[in-house]
Structure 1
Amino acid sequence: MVEPVFVVIRFRVGEAEQAGFGERMRTAVDVLAKQKGFVAARVGRNVDDPELLALTLEFENIGSYRRALSPYEVKVAAVPLLSQALDEPSAYEDLPS
Structure 2
Amino acid sequence: MIVVNRFRVPLERAEELREQLRAAYDTLAAQRGFEQGGVGRNLDDPELWVVHTQWRDVGSYRRALSTYEVKLTAVPVLSMAIDEPSAYEPVVPGGVLNDQQARSLG
3-state DSSP of counterpart to 2:62: helix
Name the % identity.
53
Mapped pair 1:86 → 2:82 = yes
For residue 29 of structure 1, what is the amino acid of its counterpart?
Answer: Y
Query: Partners of 2:92 and 2:34 in 1: how far apart?
Result: 21
3-state DSSP of counterpart to 1:21: helix
Higher relative contact order (CA 8 A, sep 6+): 1
Instruction: Report which of the two has the higher share of strand.
Output: 1
- Offset at 1:59? 0.6
CA RMSD of aligned residues (A): 0.9
Mapped pair 1:19 → 2:5 = no
Tell me, which stretches of 5 or more residues in structure 1 are unaligned? none
Residue of structure 1 in register with 2:104 after alignment: none
Mapped pair 1:9 → 2:2 = no
Mapped pair 1:59 → 2:58 = no
3-state DSSP of counterpart to 1:95: coil
Residue of structure 2 in register with 1:31 after alignment: 27
**Deviant stretches of 4+, over 4 Å:** none
For residue 27 of structure 2, what is the amino acid of its counterpart?
Answer: V
Aligned residues: 93
Residue of structure 1 in register with 2:101 after alignment: none
